[in-house]
Structure 1
Amino acid sequence: MTAKRGVLFDVDGTLVDTTYLHAVAWWEALRQHDEDVPMAQIHRAIGMGSDKLLDHLLGGDRDTSDDERMSTAHDVLYGAWWERLRPLPGAADLLRACADRGLAVVLASSAQGAELGKLRKVIDADDVITAATSSADAAESKPAPDILQAALDQSGVDPEHSVFVGDAVWDVKAAGKLGIPCIGLACGGTSADELAAAGAVETYPDPAALLAALDRSVIKKLLD
């Protein structure tokens, strides 16, 4: 039996231009609860789940009684941008190009259900998406590999015949825990050097650049 081959994609910051909106929403949510954290620190934490993000930014030994309220404040502030979200260059075309080559296309997202629905509309490539995860599918958020494992389970893709595409150091670390090669895209604001240092096997500026190099990339090896 031939192993199912596929490409897993992070969504926020990888396919849809949301990273800085999340950073601003967290910055304001934290300020509402008297936590003044520099924006650059928040940006570097984007990609973690809210529980890990708050521990990372505020320390794990703090009073956590306001965590749920801060997370809710972030969701409300970020939600105000939903109708203005835009795909990153080449996002839908990249997904379709992978599907055209016979690869399963899987969204490995930890967004909540309604948010994921909006992100999928923004990408506008549902006709080629094999499976998509949401926050409900993972017990633990990145850099834990739970969401990637859920994406593999839902799609039936063989982990030994898969590649993950993400934009954050946390994406690269999560993929590494499952032994999956990770391509890093710098369109989420993390530099190519940082992504490579975390273990990304290749880096590109955005989905369009990966699309242009697709048949020279590590994704091509899935077809060999």
Structure 2
Amino acid sequence: MFQGFIFDVEGTLVDSVPQNLRSLQDALDRSGYRVPIQTLQLYSGLDGDQTLQLAVPEASPDERRAILKDQGSIYERNYLPSVKPFESVRDVFRILTEQGSRVALATDCKGIAFKRYMALVNADDFIAATACGDDVEYGKPDPRLVGMALRKLGIQGPQAVMVGDTPYDAGAGLEAGTKVAAVLTGGFAEKVLNQAGCFAVARDLKALLPSLLFGESGPKLRQSDWLRSA
């Protein structure tokens, strides 16, 4: 049994990926860039500035900052109210903590959105630590969010599992020294998540729970391989 579990939030605990993608597409369109949703989906969960460097390489750093700021406003105004929590999140957290493990969150979301997500999940009594975008400047696959969560939990990387919905969550966890597992609720295929190093992949958190409790053999991790091909 692992001592700690670090969970991503968007796409893992709350159903927000379509809304995030649409708000980014809206912000890009307002800045004169037409980018298909299918392209943005490839970078869902990646640090925002890195996403824009890949999706609109011609945009300047100032343009990227303006687009991301605009996206945040659009998301909070038009899309955040429609976000719902996935089922069984509270039950999964309860079971893990009852088995003696500790739960943390590691997400680059922040401010109003993060507070909204915490209210939706309604599991504060089972969450021992959080590391969010208010704490760390860089998003995943940079490992600093996961590293901060580990430090707050007071455990070492090999004693923990990073649970997310994207290969970027997996990359951050692996760089921080954790095991990694994933759910399919973020729009990435099982094969992609396995190639990113996840020892277990399931349709949602409830289906993933047995692997978190008892472990499961999986492919050897090579997190840099998927990131180079993205």
Asked if Structure 1 and Structure 2 have the same fold, meaning a TM-score greater than 0.5 normalized by the shorter chain, the answer is: yes
Q: Corresponding residue for 2:37?
A: 39
**Cα distance in 2 for residues equivalent to 1:68 and 1:186:** 30
TM-score, normalising length: structure 1: 0.89
**Cα distance in 2 for residues equivalent to 1:66 and 1:111:** 20
Contact 2:23 2:79 in 1 (8 A): no
Moved over 3 A (4+): 212-218
- Three-state SS of the structure 2 residue aligned to 1:65 is helix
Residue of structure 2 aligned with 1:21, choices 15, 19, 25: 19
Q: Corresponding residue for 1:133?
A: 131
Q: What letter is aligned with 2:191?
A: D
Q: What letter is aligned with 1:45?
A: Y
Q: What letter is aligned with 1:147?
A: L
**Cα distance in 1 for residues equivalent to 2:63 and 2:173:** 31
- Percent identity between the aligned chains? 25
After TM superposition, give the deviation of residue 140 of structure 1 in Å: 2.3
Q: What letter is aligned with 1:117?
A: K
Structure 2 residue 167 is the aligned partner of structure 1 residue 184: no
Residue of structure 1 aligned with 2:61, choices 54, 60, 64: 64
Q: Corresponding residue for 2:75?
A: 78
Q: Corresponding residue for 1:106?
A: 104
Q: 1:94 to 1:176 in 2, by over 3 A?
A: same
Contact 1:113 1:134 in 2 (8 A): no
Q: 1:29 to 1:62 in 2, by over 3 A?
A: closer
Structure 2 residue 168 is the aligned partner of structure 1 residue 170: yes
Flag structure 1 segments of 5+ consecutive residues without an equivalent.
219-224
Q: Corresponding residue for 1:222?
A: none
Contact 1:14 1:187 in 2 (8 A): yes
Q: Corresponding residue for 2:219?
A: none
- Three-state SS of the structure 1 residue aligned to 2:71 is helix
**Cα distance in 2 for residues equivalent to 1:50 and 1:27:** 12
Equivalences, count? 215
Flag structure 2 segments of 5+ consecutive residues without an equivalent.
217-230
Q: Deviations over 1:28-76 (max 9, x none)?
A: 11011111111011112121222111112112x6423222221122112
**Cα distance in 2 for residues equivalent to 1:128 and 1:51:** 32
Q: What letter is aligned with 2:187?
A: G
Q: What letter is aligned with 2:197?
A: G
